Amino acid sequence: MMSASRARTIFLTAGAALALDQTSKSMALAALQPHVPVDVTPFFALSLGFNTGVSFGMLASDANTFRMPLIVLTLVIIVALAVMAMRATTLERVALSAIIGGAAGNLTDRIWRGRVTDFIDLFVADWHWPAFNLADTAITLGVVTLLWASLRRDTQQQAESDR
């Protein structure tokens, strides 16, 4: 695949993840009140919340101290992932691009709002998974796809070496 085609795949996939994330967050901000859940199903609600820290709210108490380092670190990771994506197979490129788009979505929140907007609440009875957003979903799906592609490649290599 030509370099321009690889870059187009990265840009379109990451751009789609970023656009879906930012659109859904704007809708959540417009329609929901903070910490007032709107039940959708017996295990899923929309509940507006904010994260000033990193994953699962870690470092939230030091949000001002870590805000700029988190922004810089995220930018470095995005660039590194883009370089990796340019060299990857098509499936891996799409997975890495989803991660890039998700990281860019949360980075956009961190830069413009000073915190990440979360609104998806999954739960069983009184146990709730930490609230998340579509950027987090894109990152998770990208990582799962990378793991699957790696396992698939390892299985194929093992089968070839057994011949």
Q: Known catalytic residues? A: 118, 136
d(CA 143, CA 154): 16
- CA angle in degrees (0–180, nearest 5) for 10-153-12: 10
Residue 136 CB partners (closer than 8 Å, separation 6+)? 102, 106, 118
Residue 113 CB partners (closer than 8 Å, separation 6+)? 50
d(CA 134, CA 131): 11
